[in-house]
Amino acid sequence: ETGVTQSPTHLIKTRGQQVTLRCSSQSGHNTVSWYQQALGQGPQFIFQYYREEENGRGNFPPRFSGLQFPNYSSELNVNALELDDSALYLCASSTGQEAPYNEQFFGPGTRLTVL
């Protein structure tokens, strides 16, 4: 069984640009969550997708959007990048609609730097 993978590992963008981060969940996991982790902080919940539909969202503006595909892959899209978007972005896969109750399997993260 393969673990959660994320790509790319590192990314540098400039203010105003758009970025797409990718995640491949563990096989059989129908729920994916995305988190933003700023330096020195704990992960902060962005949103969760269950069976290809968003079913939970944290305090993030609409320029943060996502997609989940039937093949257990997912994307996090961020439009109009701001300097404060610089962070480590983590995806976590699990099973079930009430996923936070279940063990979350985290990927290694994508480090985004916005200049």
What does the alpha-carbon distance between residue 43 and residue 34 come to, in Å, rounded to a whole number? Answer: 9
Q: Supply φ then ψ for residue 65, to 5 degrees.
A: -135, 165
103 lies in the binding site for another protein (CB under 8 A): yes
58 lies in the binding site for another protein (CB under 8 A): yes
Residue among 11, 20, 45, 72 that touches another protein (CB under 8 A): 45
Residue 11 to residues 7, 43, 44, 111, Cα–Cα distance (Å): 9, 19, 19, 6
| Straight-line distance from the first to the last Cα atom of the chain, in angstroms, rounded to the nearest whole number | 38
Residue 27 beta carbon to another protein: minimum distance, rounded to whole angstroms:
17
89 lies in the binding site for another protein (CB under 8 A): no
64 lies in the binding site for another protein (CB under 8 A): no
- Please name the residue that has the structure tokens 């730097």: 113
Q: Could you tell me which stretch among 7-15, 38-46, 66-74, 78-86 binds another protein (CB under 8 A)?
A: 38-46
Binding site for another protein (CB under 8 A): 3-4, 31, 33, 35, 40-48, 50, 55-58, 90, 92, 97-101, 103-109
